[in-house]
Amino acid sequence: MASATGDLHKHRGPGAYWNAHLAGALLGLTLLATFVITGHGLGASGFTTAIAARAAAAVAPVSTASNAYLGSMVAEGRNPLNAWITWQVVGLALGALASALWARRFDWRIDGPTRLRSLPRTAMALLGGVLAGFGARISAGCTSGLGLSGSATLAIAGFVFLAGFFAAGVLSGFMLKRYWQ
């Protein structure tokens, strides 16, 4: 009997997606809790900057220390990875993995435009990621840090960022539409 139940569980399809309104409300409550408990909002792009600062300090410590952008992160022997944002990103990754496993939606695949092969899909994803990261550094925040947290504090920069982010998404969607059909 136990193996029949196990077989049934193993062959069921993926779990249903959450209701978008419920997920949005829970995200809002999570953001509020983050402000109350830690004193700052959500964010992620600062983690990649911390990784860059740590790597640069390991390879070229003198140049990194004198760099106006990265120097303060490694000043006095500080480890930029020893910060709240590191634990947030680690928790986010582990939470996403647990959620995907629980909903039976974990899968290794290269997703993307259906008219492209794997290598161009991967190249497009990497280019998009680099551009998004570059944009996050220029605007001093990402969709969670500047978009969600900034807008939640009614910062004008948060709203300007979100408008630009959505406009770029719509423009990119129109430009790349032919690869998806």
Q: Secondary structure of 61-123 in the HEC alphabet?
A: HHHHHHCCCCHHHHHHHCCCCCCHHHHHHHHHHHHHHHHHHHCCCCCCCCCCCCCCCHHHHHH
**Considering the entire predicted model, what is its pTM?**
0.72
pLDDT tens profile 3-18: 444 444 555 778 888 8
Q: What's the token pair of residue 80?
A: 């930029």
Maximum Cα–Cα distance for the chain, whole Å?
A: 67
Mean residue pLDDT of the chain comes to 86
| Residue 54: predicted pLDDT | 93
φ/ψ region of 39 (left if φ > 0, alpha if ψ in -120 to 50, else beta) reads left
Best CA proximity match to 43, nearest among 82, 74, 3, 87: 87
More confident residue, 111 or 85: 85
Q: In the predicted model, is pLDDT for residue 27 greater than 80?
A: yes
What gap in Å lies between CA 91 and CA 131, rounded to an integer? 25
pLDDT at residue 163 is higher than 50? yes
